[in-house]
Amino acid sequence: MPKQSTARRLFAYALVYKYRISGALLILCCAVGAELGGPFIIKTIIDKHLSAETGDLGPVLGLLALYLGLLLVASIGNFTQSYLLQSTALQIIKNMRMDLMRHIQRIPLRYFDNTPIGQIVSRIANDTEAVRDLFMSFMATFVVSFVQLIGIYTALFILDMRLALFCLLLPPLFALIMYVHLKYSKGYIAVMRARLSDMNAMINESIAVMPIIQAFRREKVTLDEFEVMNEERYVNQIKQFRVFSLSSRNIVGTVGSLVTALVIWYFGRASLEDAILFGVFYAFIDYLGRIFHPIIGIFDQLTNAQRAFVSAEKVFAILDMEGTEVVDADRVARPEGVVKFDNVTFAYKTGEPVLKGISFEARRGETIALVGHTGSGKSSIMNLLLGFYEPDQGVITIDGADISAFSKQALRKHMGIVLQDPYLFAGDIKFNVSLYNKDISIERVKKALQDVGAASFIEQLPGGYDEQVVERGSTLSSGQRQLISFARALAFDPSILILDEATASIDSETEGLIQEALRVVSKGRTTLVIAHRLSTIREADQILVLHRGEIVERGNHETLMALGGRYFKMYQLQKGAETPLSVKT
């Protein structure tokens, strides 16, 4: 299916509210018509009812009342259309932002690996907001201007055909100026939006790693990097404003003054040759002046329109990415939890495999530990099991069923995961455990926290289980955050529990609590553990030793220690003082 243009896709969003938009534009046309009728009424008053031959003011007062009525109708019409258009524009952008947020949930994890968070935030927040101006301001301005120009030229032809024909040269002239304006300013606006996105990404990153920046005294370097982007955006914005200033009000005002002077000269010469009606002269000058207002209005909105189209292209670029549908997994049956990798090969980049022919089986109630140096492929195995990536070769099964046949939600329904870097959401502690899952009661939350040994310190907090946690849980220690993450995984009662270096940031005392809790909660479920601290996996049923993407050793702790291979050396190195000097060499 061919890719639709940005304009067509924006129109598709507007088409949902076609009746509201059409009604607003119809009201707008009526308001414009009421405004355009004013000069004709004043012309009639001047030419017929203020002459010296009549002293009857009745018709004059009637026309004045009609004029005031038209002004009132125009005022009500302008308010109504403005409210309808603005509320509709806000609804359209709300829908677009929700579509974008839904689609982000479907996009594969690879996109987030390679895209700064700040850029994604900019797409959802800033770029959708820029598109709003297209529906809210430009649409109304363009329609008003178009209707006004038709009405004005109709009136000009009624008043004086020859001069009206001359004035027909103005629209093509202004269209040429607009074309030049759009051609030069589009590039500047694209750079401005790109730098704004880059600045948002850098701000997000800087705030997240502020302790590192300050600890390594990188404040000045960070400011210098930000200043380069800020300066580039500023320079392009100045250039865009320069183009706008030269091609909008400035040139329109100059052309308008010249044309007005020509019209005055034309009527002045006609008054010498023959008597002219003063009302016609007034009306023509009035309508001529009105020509330039819609032109200026269109110029003023061109920048917003360009910004909206540039932003819309970025938004639709994300919406065009392939993704998997988020489906309901509430009725997915709980699996036994038998996990099997059969000759699995995987690469993040083509030609650079990080896993090579991985095969193992984890049965229900077993604990499988993955160990190896950094980059050996431990986390990649977990990422494949969770469905974040797809294997290039081989099959991964749960209870004998290929996981590629499951939806991502069904696959992860009965999985629990605890990461090395525990993440807590803004909210209270009980929310961070239950994540608003209606099936997890407060009693279940407390039980999970108690099982992992977190209840003791939580009950000492001022708010207890209702204690508010700021973003990322920065008010709690890393060990406390990790315990809450363990409780979160346990509260969901998974059949497959994944611990990705979950004890790496925990002190020895807390580690003892975790070890005791794991002995209880691992019963009846499959547990896969990634560990650098080999002391935490001594009781694992099977230990897989990975090296450069391959399993080089497997067995329990005693078997591997007796083997005297890579695991034995890793364990001895971690033991430190117990390692003989001859082994270290």
Question: DSSP of 60-94, one letter per residue?
Answer: HHHHHHHHHHHHHHHHHHHHHHHHHHHHHHHHHHH
Question: What pLDDT digit, counting tens, does each position of 100-122 carry?
Answer: 888 888 887 778 877 777 778 87
Report residue 52: phi and psi, to 5°.
-70, -20
Q: Is the pLDDT score of 26 beyond 80?
A: no
Question: What is the chain's Cα-based Rg?
Answer: 36
Q: What is the mean pLDDT of the chain?
A: 79
Q: What's the pLDDT band for 578 if we cut at 50, 70, 90?
A: very low
Question: What pLDDT digit, counting tens, does each position of 266-283 carry?
Answer: 766 655 445 455 566 666
Report residue 552: phi and psi, to 5°.
-100, -20
Q: Give the DSSP per-residue string, 326-342.
A: ----TTPPPP---EEEE
Q: Is the pLDDT score of 85 beyond 80?
A: no
Q: Is 72 exposed, middle or buried (0-12, 13-18, 19+ CB in 10 A)?
A: exposed
What angle, 0 to 180 degrees and rounded to 10, lies between the N-to-C axes of helices 18-44 and 278-319? 170
Question: What average pLDDT does range 427-447 have in this prediction?
Answer: 86
Question: What pLDDT digit, counting tens, does each position of 283-299 carry?
Answer: 677 777 777 777 877 77
Please report where in the chains the tokens 């609590």 appear, as a residue.
513
**pTM: predicted TM-score of the whole model, two decimal places:** 0.66
CA of residue 371 relative to chain centroid, distance: 38
Residue-range domains of the chain with CATH: 6-319 (1.20.1560.10), 329-414+498-506+526-585 (3.40.50.300), 418-493 (3.40.50.300)
Lowest average pLDDT, out of 137-141, 197-201, 438-442, 543-547, goes to 137-141
Q: Is the pLDDT score of 203 beyond 80?
A: yes
- 3-state SS class at 497: strand
- 3-state SS class at 435: coil
Cβ within 8 Å of residue 67, ≥6 positions away: 38, 41, 42
Query: What is the percent of the chain with per-residue pLDDT over 90, rounded to a whole number?
Result: 13
Question: What pLDDT digit, counting tens, does each position of 133-173 carry?
Answer: 777 666 667 777 777 777 778 777 877 777 778 778 888 88
Q: Is the pLDDT score of 519 beyond 90?
A: no
Q: What is the dihedral of CA 111, 114, 118, 124, to 10 degrees?
A: -20
Contact (Cβ atoms closer than 8 angstroms) between residue 143 and residue 82: no
Q: What does the pLDDT read at residue 394?
A: 94
Please report where in the chains the tokens 């000759």 appear, as a residue.
343
> Which candidate, 554, 113, 532, places its Cα nearest to that of 341?
554
